[in-house]
Amino acid sequence: MEILAFGVTADEKPLIEKAFAGQHEVRCLDVFLSEDTAPIATGYEIVSSSVNADLSGRVLRTLAAGGTKMIAQRSTGFNNIDLDVARQLGLTVGRVSYYSPYSVAEFAWTLAMAVNRRIVRASNRTRDFDFRLNGLMGRDLRGRTVGVLGTGKIGEAFTRIAHGFGMNLLGWDVAQNPACVELGMKYVDKDTLFASSDVISLHVPLLESTHHIIGAQALKLMKDDAILVNSSRGGLVDTDALVTELRSGRFTGVGLDVYEAEAGLFFLDKSLVAVEDDTLARLITFPNVVVTSHQAYYTLDAVGQIIDTTVANVADYLAGRRSENTLSPADPS
């Protein structure tokens, strides 16, 4: 069987082809699945999509009309998929429920350290042979307080690194993680975490209840010299409210690997066109902000696990099996 994979990067392509070798042929496309590209999948029973794919009802109907019966999404998040429509159409949808949490946790700390120690500014200066230290002063992390919103697998990995730095640990989640408590984490309400933390990192999924969990009120509660990091989902942060606070000179630094309006921008080369997103354009101009292109998960280890799980999801579909990765059809239990 030939599988059509959308949104495949040059780094991923040989890994995907090797993983499916001897089992199925796979056609890799660098374009993302959307209303415009969905007709390409006509005749393909199995389609694989990437994290920023548009799997809205209209796209799903186009896929189903073209003969697609199974969608294997190469990501953990699935807020981009209209599962109600998928189930109505009888489409099987699988995702990757787990991959290396260390990839994202380590990158979140990379962002935090980059803004704390002014790494980007320093690098830009030295490229011009400007070796002055003015404006590059950071802070020790030891003895300071980190607030972790979401203490699942990634949040726990992030917390372990913070513990290694010798930081005070605050956490917020719907349920406490015993491993984090053992490390010394104190669970508090969100407002206390916002007001007390020197570094705040987001590791919660994007749900209706967490949309804009970092909004105007939360931002006002934070310390003027706090560091905010988001490597989870862009919709967790009200970007317009964040820009307002940054314009007033607040925050030591902000590290964002995700952006709430990243679809149609991230993973694409927009260097030769005018970007119409004024909020993102303004955000990038702040010297204390580092924006990266949703790459926290992008390590050989994590991508390898994502691809291996995708291969297993395809095998489960063909064998008529369900697993923890199956989103549609719904579990009859």
pLDDT in tens, 148-188: 999 999 999 999 999 999 999 999 999 999 999 999 999 99
Q: Left (φ > 0), alpha (ψ -120 to 50) or beta: where does 246 sit?
A: alpha
The predicted pLDDT at position 243 comes to 98
CA 123 to chain centre: 26
d(CA 210, CA 205): 7
Q: Is the dihedral of CA 239, 245, 248, 253 positive or negative?
A: negative
Task: Record the pTM.
Answer: 0.92
pLDDT surpassing 60 at residue 232? yes
pLDDT confidence bin for 51, thresholds 50/70/90: confident
Tokens standing for 228? 């905010």
DSSP state of 311: H
The predicted pLDDT at position 264 comes to 84
d(CA 262, CA 254): 17
What SS3 class is residue 181?
A: helix
Cα angle for residues 227, 232, 237 (degrees, 5° grid): 60
pLDDT surpassing 80 at residue 128? yes
pLDDT confidence bin for 26, thresholds 50/70/90: very high
Q: Kindly list the catalytic residues.
A: 233, 262, 294
d(CA 175, CA 71): 31
pLDDT surpassing 80 at residue 59? yes
- CA atoms within 13 A of residue 56's CA, in its CB half-sphere: 6
Phi first, then psi, for residue 303 (nearest 5°) are -65, -35
User: Mean pLDDT across the stretch 8-36?
Assistant: 96
pLDDT confidence bin for 331, thresholds 50/70/90: low
User: Mean pLDDT across the stretch 113-137?
Assistant: 96
pLDDT confidence bin for 8, thresholds 50/70/90: very high
What SS3 class is residue 2?
A: strand
| Mean of the per-residue pLDDT values of the chain | 96
- CA atoms within 13 A of residue 247's CA, in its CB half-sphere: 9
User: Mean pLDDT across the stretch 284-300?
Assistant: 96
Helices marked H in the chain = 12-20, 57-65, 83-88, 101-116, 119-127, 153-165, 178-182, 190-196, 216-221, 239-247, 278-285, 300-319
Strands 326-328 and 92-94 come out as antiparallel
